[in-house]
Amino acid sequence: MRMVDLIQKKRDGKELSSEEIGFIIEGYTKGEIPDYQVSALAMAIFFRDMTDRERADLTMAMVHSGETIDLSEIEGVKVDKHSTGGVGDTTTLVLAPLVAALGIPVAKMSGRGLGHTGGTIDKLEAISGFHVEISKEEFVKLVNEHKIAVIGQSGNLTPADKKLYALRDVTATVNSIPLIASSIMSKKIAAGADAIVLDVKTGAGAFMKSVDDAKELAQAMVRIGNNVGRKTMAVISDMSQPLGLAIGNSLEVKEAIDTLKGQGPKDLEELCFALGRQMVFLAGKAASLEEAEEKLKEVIANGKALEKFREFIANQGGDPSVVDHPEKLPQAAFLIEVPAKTDGVVAEIVADEIGTAAMLLGAGRATKESEIDLAVGLMLNKKVGDAVKAGESLVTIHANRENVQEVVDMIYANIRIADQAEAPVLIYGTVT
Ligand code: URA
Ligand code: CA
């Protein structure tokens, strides 16, 4: 087989066979096929697309390019939740203990990564003593005994995706539905999920800016998952404004605790129920989505979800008393209010720009080498659709430096106040 013939085949709009896709991914992973040929192929895929069969084959070829995690020693259906990424997205911290409290195994492998705030692991490390450097054996034991554990990303998962994603980044081929869908799904499948609930975001703070594009990506991922034998569904949710009120690591841990107490922001709570009920249903713990949601509400009302969070923290070396004393989380030295300049209704809070403002304070990493400040971030005091009076605080900045003028300027530039506005739709639909 010659790579040049396969590039030509895709360039001419023909379908690549399973063997051909396997040959490409194996050769690329081993360094036998050079970047320039794979770049040309990626561009051909960008214009010519891939069939469902090709997409499934590409996904599985990337899964098999490296190690895979075997979770078969963990009893029950392992349901993973994946978000395509947004600003202030605290759902994992809420959902993990929430569904574990219903006996569903949560075996989470998580990363740090770049972004407006840290990843799930960074957030959890805001809890004194909490650590994710546990052995595979301990991880499996914790999940079997307590239904919940988080382990840091290790090993060589989907090396083909790592190489290809980096190549796409510099060849204008990131924005291709078959390539994005196979990239995301390969990582979830390699991490051992039996069933996958996807939260596909749309809006300013999301990868997919329009609802139609988000729907197309959701459909692509759901079809890949189901075609390779993993029950998969997607929820399409709004990311035009940040989710919840907190953007920052400690701040989001506190927000998750509030939500587990039934006192969280309305949008975060609603999204957690929308995703959680799908997880409970896919795990076979409820006969209908309605029953699944009832069960989730029950473990919040009776305190079992919060108790599960305490247990989880203690199991991984953390101080569980933060649940009752969130002031023990790292606190910023300065709280600075950003008052509204006019009366009106909040019409827009541009998610990605507000996320970048939080990152400038130190809440997230701009580069892999950046250090995160777990204490800092932003608390929104108003959301889109809320009435506001001149002088009322729109945002509270939690900073560890006194001069935050650039952050204040960014906030004013990205929160629009109008005469009238309504809260956006939070959930645009589901894809199964
Ligand atoms: N996220 C991924 O993991 N892969 C893509 O291709 C795009 C976004
Ligand atoms: Ca939040």
Which 8-state DSSP code applies to residue 12? T
- Say if ligand 1 is within 6 A of residue 181 CB: no
Active site residue 161: yes
Q: Which atom of ligand 1 is nearest to the CA of 174?
A: 6
Cα of 84 from ligand 1 centre, angstroms: 8
pLDDT band at 394 (very low <50, low <70, confident <90, very high): very high
> pTM of the predicted model, to two decimals?
0.95
Mean predicted confidence (pLDDT) in 14-40:
98
Which 8-state DSSP code applies to residue 67? B
Quote the pLDDT of residue 393: 98
Quote the pLDDT of residue 134: 93
- Considering only CA atoms, which of 17, 18, 429 is closest in space to residue 216? 429
Active site residue 123: no
Which 8-state DSSP code applies to residue 17? P
Quote the pLDDT of residue 153: 82
Active site residue 183: yes
Give the whole-number percent of the chain exceeding pLDDT 70: 100
Of 163, 168, 188, 277, which residue is the catalytic one? Answer: 168
pLDDT tens figures, 208-263: 999 999 999 999 999 999 999 999 999 999 999 999 999 999 999 999 999 999 99
Active site residue 35: no
Cα of 323 from ligand 2 centre, angstroms: 17
pLDDT tens figures, 132-181: 999 989 999 999 999 999 998 877 899 999 999 999 999 999 999 999 99
Cα of 315 from ligand 1 centre, angstroms: 32
Quote the pLDDT of residue 327: 96
Ordered domains of the chain (ranges, CATH): 3-48 (1.20.970.10), 79-325 (3.40.1030.10), 330-418 (3.90.1170.30)
- Say if ligand 1 is within 6 A of residue 280 CB: no
Residue type, 119: G
Least confident of 27-31, 47-51, 300-304, 367-371: 367-371
Distance CA 343, CA 392 (A): 9
- Residue 131, classed as helix, strand or coil, is coil
Quote the pLDDT of residue 111: 75
Mean predicted confidence (pLDDT) in 342-356:
97
Active site residue 82: yes
- Considering only CA atoms, which of 223, 305, 255 is closest in space to residue 51? 223
Of 80, 89, 161, 194, which residue is the catalytic one? Answer: 161
Angle CA(27)–CA(223)–CA(63) in degrees, nearest 5? 30
With beta carbons less than 8 A apart as the criterion, state whether 79 and 100 touch.
no
pLDDT tens figures, 254-267: 999 999 999 999 99
Give the whole-number percent of the chain exceeding pLDDT 90: 93
pLDDT tens figures, 83-108: 998 999 999 999 999 999 999 999 99
197 contacts: CB under 8 Å, gap ≥ 6: 79, 80, 81, 82, 232, 233, 234, 235, 275, 278, 279, 282
Distance CA 246, CA 294 (A): 26
Q: Which atom of ligand 1 is nearest to the CA of 207?
A: 8
Cα of 60 from ligand 1 centre, angstroms: 16
Tell the residue nearest (CA) to atom 3 of ligand 1. Answer: 184
- Say if ligand 1 is within 6 A of residue 179 CB: yes
